[in-house]
Amino acid sequence: MKSLPQSFLGKKVYMDGRTRSYTVRYEEHIAKNKTHVILFEQETPVIFAVLSSEGNFLDSFYLTGKNNQASANALERYKEMTERRKSRPMTQDDLRDALKTEPNAKMKNENILKHLIDEHLEDIKHQWPSRLILMQKTEGRHDESLVMLALREALHMANAQKSFSYLTAHRLDQSVPELGFIMHEYPDLLPEICEYYLEYNEVKIVRQLLLNTAASVPLDQKELIESLLSMASRIDHIHYSSVLKSVLSVLFKRVKQDAKTSPKAWLTSTVSDRKTRLSIAAALKSQKTG
């Protein structure tokens, strides 16, 4: 089974017999198998390179001696990002604080969380390589840092299609299930995300995405619910799992709490596809006999 494509952001490249190192601080995925990157020495852009999906150098040159349209575009885009970020009222102390968990952060800047959310939103909108995620990858010690807390908030506010592209570009696949909580606004995105991860056999991500969607989808949004149940059934059929049963459990609990009907009646009025109905019946039967 093939692996997910890589993100090179934050990777170090050693030159001159490992005496000097450069860090990828800018990357742009140009095609499925090609990525443009800029390697930095400290804060200075030094090398432009074209990498394959495996991380092999297809082309590279020092920016002091050569330039082409691709490198010029990358440098211009990087300049736009950095100039925009200079306008944000976050100091180096704030950025160091952003790598801490909320209880451990000094929070001298009382608006730090808002500033972090705003930067995530802008990066998602423009599909910019994130300095915050770069910091998290290279210096972060906590999965629950302010950077990641702000990212979760931003994902509930941003365009989900752009968020999906942003998360996969940065290989933040563990955050993709968060999109389930707003999937009712982007119903066509559910099969797209599921197909993407099933191609790489990443069932765990898909399962959590389906559960989060089940926890938040309006109970009268029939097409999305049927798509949700159909996808869960398909995963069970291929992987001999019990995802459908788990999704149904979440939905039935919500029906009992919020709907003025029984789970059985709700299911009858919601699901019309015969194949999905049969899968649900089999799952419910196994639940009773299991």
Residue by residue, DSSP assigns 233-267 as HHHHHHH---HHHHHHHHHHHHHHHH-SS-HHHHH
- Say if residues 248 and 215 touch (Cβ distance below 8 Å): no
Q: How far is the C-alpha of 9 from the C-alpha of 133, rounded, in Å?
A: 9
The more confidently predicted of residues 113 and 87 is 113
Look at residue 171 and give its three-state secondary structure: coil
Mean pLDDT of the region 123-131: 96
pLDDT of residue 107: 83
Instruction: Read off the pLDDT of residues 59-86 as tens digits, 9 standing for 90 and up.
Output: 999 999 889 999 999 999 999 999 988 8
pLDDT band at 15 (very low <50, low <70, confident <90, very high): confident
Q: Is 273 exposed, middle or buried (0-12, 13-18, 19+ CB in 10 A)?
A: middle
pTM, to two decimals = 0.93
Instruction: Read off the pLDDT of residues 135-189 as tens digits, 9 standing for 90 and up.
Output: 999 999 899 999 999 999 999 999 999 999 999 999 999 999 999 999 999 999 9
Average pLDDT, the chain: 93
**pLDDT score of 288 more than 80:** no
3-state helix, strand, coil in the chain (%, to 5): 55, 15, 30
Q: How far is the C-alpha of 249 from the C-alpha of 223, rounded, in Å?
A: 19
pLDDT band at 109 (very low <50, low <70, confident <90, very high): confident
* Contacts of 65-73 spanning 24+ positions with Cβ under 8 A: 70/36, 71/36, 71/38
Burial string for 163-175 (b: 16+ CB within 10 Å, else e) reads: bbebbbbbebbeb
**pLDDT score of 289 more than 60:** no
DSSP state of 187: T
Instruction: Read off the pLDDT of residues 206-263 as tens digits, 9 standing for 90 and up.
Output: 999 999 999 999 999 999 999 999 999 999 998 889 999 999 999 999 999 988 889 9
The bridge status of strand 44-52 relative to strand 34-41 is: antiparallel
